Chains A and B, each alone.
Chain A
Amino acid sequence: MIDLTKTIDLSTTYLGLKLKNPLVASSSPMCREVGNVRRLEDAGASAVVLHSLFEEQIDIDSDELDRFMTESSDTSAESTSHFPDLLFKVMGPDAYLKHIAKCKAAVQIPIIASLNGTTTGGWLEYAKLMQQAGADALELNIYNIPVNPDISGAEVEQGYIDLVQAVKKEVTIPVSIKLGPYFSSMANMAKRLDGAGADGLVLFNRFYQPDYDLEALEVVPNLILSNSHELLLRLHWIAVIYGSVKADLALTGGVHSATDVIKAMMAGARVAMMTSALLKRGITFLDTIATELLVWMGEHEYDSIRQMQGSMSRNAVPQPAAFERANYMKVLSSYAMR
């Protein structure tokens, strides 16, 4: 029996990091526990993106703590306070930074920290701290929902560019940026971010979309795990962008099988990131995917992942129009003919 691991090279590089395979655990609450990070490594993940540090959450937590400690003080002569003094300082980013260090100590694979800031000061300060804490790279998770009608798309986009430039000045570790798909010109945006110095583009963030509870007439948070259908949007844009930027591309959202990974690679991604599949099927599912990946590559006589990366990007396919308007027309007409 042939040991495929010896004959097929799964390795890839991402953000300058040499990875043993393209399977990366994307940023999720699963990574809050060092034990899970260790299990991810054991199951075959080549890198882990930690859950995001939310600057806004840190500020809100502090503010609420202060508010409720103050508002429950001096209510009467008998109860001049209702809480003991804090034994320790509220950790703020410290807990996250410690977590980075712990993960680094626990595993051999690269640890990518994830940051979700709200203020320029916060982005820069926390980015620096994450580097100091030992992160191998930094993923900027820009979760910006532009609800203000007075802010133009151009201003929003410029904000992204400024941020990447500023963070790049502060840190020496590679910086990737995780984006949503809602740009008027995705390809242009990717190019500009590339120009601003981004080392990687992570496509795409999944925005949680609140649902309605019709009985209570309330807006309720809604968390639906991804599925393979969501892969297509990502494949499309990675295929389009591949080749036009120096930055490494990562595909996140909708990766649920070895074939999804292969598609991601062929579109041009350096890594395929996963969370939902692991939440649904357990961390050890990574191992299954890695095995299936090898089997597929063996059956189809691929020697390495690198070989297939970008092999079906927009410029590598015979009809680039497949990624353009023509493709849309074709799908519609084929649908009508059924």
Chain B
Amino acid sequence: MSNSSTTTTRPKVTIDGNEAAAYVAHQSNEVIAIYPITPSSNMGEWADQWSAEQKTNIWGTVPTVIEMQSEGGAAGACHGALQAGSLCTTFTASQGLLLMIPNMYKIAGELTSTVFHIAARALAAQALSIFGDHSDVMSARSTGFGMLSSNSVQEVMDMALIAQAATLESRLPFMHFFDGFRTSHEVAKVEQLSADDIRAMIDEKLVFAHRKRALSPDNPFIRGTAQNPDVYFQAREACNPFYIAAPTIVQNAMDQFAAIAGRQYHLFDYFGAPDAERLIIMMGSGAEVAHETVEALLATGEKIGLLKVRLYRPFSIEHFVAAIPLSVKSIAVLDRTKEPGATGEPLYVDVLTALAEMGIAKKVIGGRYGLSSKEFTPAMVKGVYDELLKPNPKNHFTIGIKDDVTHTSLDFDPEFSTEAPGTVRALFYGLGADGTVGANKNSIKIIGEETENYAQGYFVYDSKKSGSITTSHLRFGPKPIRSSYLISKANFIACHQFSFLERIDMLKSAEPGATFLLNSPYDATEVWNHLPRLVQEQIISRKVKFYVINGDEVAKATGMGGRINTIMQTCFFAISGVLPREEAIAAIKYAIKKTYGKRGDTVVQKNYAAVDAALNHLQEVQVPDKVTALFDLRPPVPAQAPSFVRDVLAHIIAGNGDNLPVSAMPIDGTFPSGTAQWEKRNIALEIPVWDEALCIQCGKCVLVCPHAVIRAKVYDDSYLGNAPATFKASPARWKDMKDRKYTLQVAPEDCTGCQLCVEVCPAKSKSEVKHRAINMMAQPPLRESEAANWDYFLSIPETDRKALSPTQVKDIQLLRPLFEFSGACSGCGETPYIKLVTQLFGDRVMIANATGCTSIYGGNLPTTPYCINEEGRGPSWSNSLFEDNAEFGLGQRLAVDKQNEYARELVWRLGFQIGEELAQAIINADQKTEQGIFAQRERVAQLKAKLAGVDTAEARDLVSVADSLVKKSVWIIGGDGWAYDIGYGGLDHVLASGRNVNVLVLDTEVYSNTGGQASKSTPRGAVAKFAAGGKPAGKKDLALMAISYGSVYVAKIAMGSSDMHTVKAITEAEAYDGPSLIIAYSHCIAHGYDLAHGLDQQKAAVNSGYWPLFRYNPDLAPQGKNPFQLDSRPASIGLKDYIYNETRYTMLAKSNPERAQELFKLAQDDVTSKWKLYEHMSHQNGVAEEVKK
């Protein structure tokens, strides 16, 4: 986007809401403090990118963009910058906004001009949700910030500017908010304001006045005093005139804007019949849906209207009342938030108050809709209007869900539709990372910018990071598109992955005569018999025009690898007729050049070749008139799944979660463990296959498998009697278990095909070294037989833990993981560590999990990976917040310790009833080893049995806390964004507490979950979001900081370099009776290379000296030994041999080699000097060594 347009005809651009807000913010500010949080991260990313590209604001200078350690930090930095006279802004959402609230009170209390742009999002309550509603902004409504709502992408651009103008004049700070995802991520064709437009709206005198109010030693004064009961109250009232004046100032700004840009807004915009009797009042993207519905219903003569609230704070009662037609009899106020226990949601209460104050009596009902981006459709709007027709409409209703518990929900006719007939509505089903979404964004740009059509794109993802399904909803048409809801009646549907056909009922949205494009390995003559029954039925009954292309083959032939995006996009244009074919092809090629040009000419040429080849391979299928399929869609979960999984989770898996009633939901966010095992996703094209003859049974593949899909067992050979014919076994290679059998089994339907297991396998064939003890083979032919083998494998009892040594990788493979089949990325570098923790301590582990990747693959519905062993034990897991995880874990430790202390007291007190011997044994139990823990569990069982017969308060009390007598292992898990940045203060405190907690930092060196923003862990020279020009500063040495306490066990590990070291460190950390910190190198998709080589990269990181392995064990000091043990060798390869295998480094080296070279030299120096320091530390003698000398 250009930044200094001076044209009077404004360009039409197809952008999303975030880009629109960021555009105005970057143009009209000098300092921008940012921090990533979904769905607002992109605003910060744009600002950072533009400043890195040296794009200037309207004053011709490049805004300073700084990433902070948290939203609290961003708000603090904003406050400071504003007080020092800069125009400053920030972007945030949800929990981030909550963290800003303290500063927002200050900023408003000091009448400071600023605009915070908010992609409004749900708050974490019974569960976290990244999706949109107004819970966050409503929680900040009392701060004194003005609140201006945008309902569409165009409005985001417009209101961002209106807010900026109004804040300078009114001195009120503003929250400019729009719906997270629905508006922040919707791509739409909008008119872009020019720099002149922005200049025209920003009064330079007001900017000077803002600067003049700033703190300065040249004009000293004090602001931010402490006030006492005598004057605080009066001083708080002193700002009143500004709040009284603000609405008029905002309206004036809206009028001025209308004069400049031609779009007129009002504080409250009414749309509907002049003599409307029924009125809906609301704000946000839902208001556009209501607008579209009102438009349709007005045509049928309905007397209805809609009031869009734009300026919510300060709430101008006069303007509000004036905007409502006198004819209105009944009003429904819709809130996109929930305030449990309140008299009503905020907008509803405000409306009631306003009417009451003005002495206006109307029937008013309030209701909730759209929480967490819940669909809000014209059918629901009509449902609300219909309710208002009733003599006693339901108050405090909900719309869009079925509430069968407290019966708040309104009924509506889901078939009601207002879709314009002239609009093309296209649905695309793709695989995350296959480029479908990117290609569709391009298509929207092409249509939006090359034709007169309006265009809209919205993208839906499932919750998995591997093999996730993306659904792109694209609308194009001659009329403006207000339909901010998903497409349910499509005239074009494309399926980019053939395997989806048996998982998703995608043609349910097909209109009669719709076109269906399928990426198929079968050509037009063969494909029919490979379609499930339902699909065949739908194609025939709806007279669907059906096309196929072998996109994967074309991609391969044109050097595109697995990227089918361009091919499928070309086919869409070729058959949808949105543009004449030749014109479309030219436009696609132009878009390719624009999108991929920076990546190199060869990329552009390959894409061109793919476009041309696509057209030659597109085939129309002659649809038979009979259904011939012998199979149908697969059920979402197997029949033997538990009832909750069948009755609730299965619907979510099948994409029908919207239909679940309130009664189906747990009341307090509690869900059963271990449900991922029922969601068979079959996403691997190839799976590992065991060659039992070659295998040396080392267990490395089991250890590294990110999804716990490779398992081993040693068992009595009697179990082989009933085994399926293809079930494999070989004699166990254990000294003590020689007479038993060993099986390495893969879960074919859960494997993601990452290949880490194959890459790590050390056993190679003597006659052909490429053949190993496990090898990748096509999944489909193996699926049924291996699934049966897997089921049989599960039925074999687990190998007895007591016979195994938990410090040996070979033995660990036989310990059952209690973390399986997570939705983590294929080849994830984090999950193997978590899995290992559950193998070692899973039956007694309590996990406090910071928000991030670990919490998403650990706890995002529909199914979750932490599971339960045969005794019914397993990890407890919870996620509190992003910033407080260390404290959250510490709290769990304190509770467990306190209960243990109390239980021990009770055991003493009840010694007589329990029996002295048992009581003594319980109190004095040595639980350092697993055997000790098992023995204590037996004692506690005996204790409970004995207490069962004792009917005293103390005995009952002891029973309720008796389990705390058995050792619990508290693990605090999170990523580097948490540990290095937002949670560092808490982490530091917890490490200093001396309490026995184990902190596992899965260090990917970026905020992986929000899309790769730099953290303080990001290494020097690596490119990341918020560090687009390569991170200039070196990585923070968190380990060294923790070591400085002397009382914290600290280890730096990398499984790919030494699995033994990893096991040792994790075991020692757990055994250490105090705080432990383990920093685990975690390769990540954000590093940019084929993760099949993740372990090799870990090795390279260690061998280059970049990631030294070490352990600092305070227990060694009292033994007179040096607590610091450096466990890896000096660098044997250069840093460049490690880093230049990764895109995060090469993208700088290839695009800006000089800068890369400069940073590389500094980075190499970092490595060298850090190594020297560690080496020096490792050579320090402990007391014992000194004495020996």
Contact = CB atoms under 8 A, between A and B. Distances in A.
Interface of A: 58-59, 61-92, 95, 217-218
A63 B130 contact: no
In this complex, which of B39, B181, B464, B1011 has the most chain A Cβ atoms within 10 angstroms of its Cβ? B1011
16 contacts: A65-B600, A65-B1088, A66-B563, A68-B1089, A69-B1143, A69-B1147, A70-B433, A75-B1085, A77-B460, A79-B1010, A82-B1025, A84-B45, A84-B1023, A87-B1028, A88-B598, A89-B1151
A74 B48 contact: no
Contacts of A83: 1012, 1023-1025, 1086, 1088, 1143-1144, 1147
Interface in B416-441: 430, 432-433, 435-438
A41 to B, nearest CB: 21
Contacts of A58: 600, 602
Nearest to B432: A75
Contacts of B606: 63
Contacts of A69: 599, 1088, 1143, 1147
Given A64-B1143, A65-B1146, A77-B461, A72 B600 contact: no
Contacts of A91: 1150-1151, 1153
B599 A87 contact: no
Given A76-B468, A83-B1025, A83-B1147, 16 more contacts: A59-B602, A66-B596, A73-B435, A75-B432, A76-B465, A77-B460, A77-B461, A80-B42, A80-B185, A82-B1088, A84-B1024, A86-B599, A86-B1147, A87-B53, A91-B1150, A92-B600
Contacts of B45: 84
Contact of A66 (B48, B433, B599): B599
Contact of B1151 (A66, A86, A218): A86
Contact of A80 (B131, B599, B1011, B1147): B1011
B603 A66 contact: yes
Nearest to A86: B598
Contact of B432 (A61, A65, A76): A76
Given A65-B1147, A77-B461, A82 B1085 contact: yes
3 cross-chain pairs, A with B, having the tightest CB-CB distances, nearest first: A62-B600, A79-B1011, A82-B1012
Interface in B1079-1093: 1085-1086, 1088-1090
Contact of B433 (A62, A63, A71, A218): A71
A75 B598 contact: no
A82 B1153 contact: no
- Measured as residues with beta carbon below 8 angstroms from the partner, the interface class of chain B is 35 or more
B1028 to A, nearest CB: 4
A81 B599 contact: no
Interface string B854-889: 001000000000000000000000000000000000
Nearest to B38: A78
Given A74-B459, A84-B45, A62 B1012 contact: no
A85 B45 CA distance: 10
B563 A88 contact: no
A136 to B, nearest CB: 23
B1008 interface: yes
B49 interface: yes
A268 B1071 CA distance: 75
A102 to B, nearest CB: 10
A71 B435 CA distance: 7
Nearest to A72: B1085
B324 to A, nearest CB: 38
B1085 A84 contact: no
Contacts of A74: 430, 432-433, 435-438, 459, 461, 470
Contacts of A89: 597-598, 600, 1151
A90 B1150 contact: yes
Given A63-B606, A86-B1151, A77 B130 contact: yes
B133 to A, nearest CB: 15
A63 B1024 contact: no
B602 A80 contact: no
Nearest to B1010: A78
Contacts of B1023: 83-84
Contacts of A218: 769
A272 B563 CA distance: 48
B437 to A, nearest CB: 4
Nearest to B460: A77
Given A74-B470, A75-B1085, A76-B465, A84 B600 contact: no
A68 B1143 contact: yes
Interface string B814-836: 00000000000100000000000
A67 B563 contact: yes
Contacts of B468: 75-76
A88 B600 CA distance: 11
Given A84-B1024, A92-B601, A78 B1085 contact: no
A65 B1150 CA distance: 9
B478 interface: no
A72 B433 contact: yes
A64 B1140 CA distance: 12
A235 B552 CA distance: 53
A64 B1150 CA distance: 12
Contacts of B470: 74
A76 B602 contact: no
Interface in B1099-1154: 1143-1144, 1146-1147, 1150-1153
Contacts of A75: 432-433, 465, 468, 825, 1085
Contacts of A68: 1088-1090, 1143
A145 B1090 CA distance: 27
A158 B643 CA distance: 73
Contacts of A84: 45, 48-49, 52, 1023-1028
Nearest to A80: B1011
Contact of B856 (A76, A85, A92): A76
Given A76-B465, A77-B38, A85 B1088 contact: no
B892 interface: no
Contacts of B185: 77, 80
Contacts of A67: 561, 563
B314 interface: no
A217 B1011 contact: no
B1094 interface: no
Contacts of B48: 84
A76 B563 contact: no
Contacts of A59: 600, 602
A79 B1086 CA distance: 10
A67 B599 CA distance: 10
In this complex, which of A59, A84, A85 has the most chain B Cβ atoms within 10 angstroms of its Cβ? A84
Nearest to B1007: A79
Contacts of A79: 465, 1008-1012
A73 B1089 contact: no
A61 B459 CA distance: 30
A160 B278 CA distance: 84
Contacts of A217: 764, 769
A261 B460 CA distance: 70
A72 B1151 contact: no
Interface string B691-718: 0000000000000000000000000000
